[in-house]
Amino acid sequence: MLRFRSPDRYLRSGAGAAGPGRRALGLVAVVCLAGLAAGCAQLEYASLRDYRVPGAAATVHILDSPETVGVFDPAVVRVRPGQTVAWVNASGDYHTVTFTDPSLPPSPGFGPGESFERTFARPGTYRYVCAYHRGMVGEVVVGGAPATPGA
């Protein structure tokens, strides 16, 4: 069952109820503060787009995208066998790294500011998606080529 509680309960002051104008002003203030907090959170996570995970050969950033909710950036990374790839969630949503190869377990869902790492032992091409947003796709190519520059 869904319940709705009137904001009047939270906007009373003193012994009597606030007038209609005062309630509206209080509600506007609450909405503005919530919007400001959400905007600050978005800025905080967006600043992770240049973060490189120590010890990882490549870092993939999960960024906000209006087309697919999120995007893996870069979409393709290249590493050598034995190297680690890290995914950093710099978006405002939860995501996963779910490999199309069922022998590789998926990441748990991870939220804004969190990360996931996997070390790739064998050469090959490992495709992955976000289980929550199937339009998000990426690929790890493990082979003799050097790690993706700048990733």
For 37-91, the pLDDT digits (tens) are 444 444 465 567 778 889 999 999 999 988 878 999 999 999 999 999 999 999 9
62/141 Cα distance (integer angstroms):
18
Question: Cα separation of 96 and 105, whole Å?
Answer: 11
- What's the pLDDT score for residue 32? 38
**Architecture of the 52-142 domain:** Sandwich (2.60)
**pLDDT given for residue 148 in this prediction:** 59
Where are the chain's structural domains? 7-46, 52-142
Give me the pLDDT at residue 52, please.
83
Quote the CA–CA distance of 33 and 129 in Å, as a whole number: 35
pTM: 0.68
Helices (H), the chain: 20-46
Q: So what's the pLDDT on residue 65?
A: 87
pLDDT at 151: 53
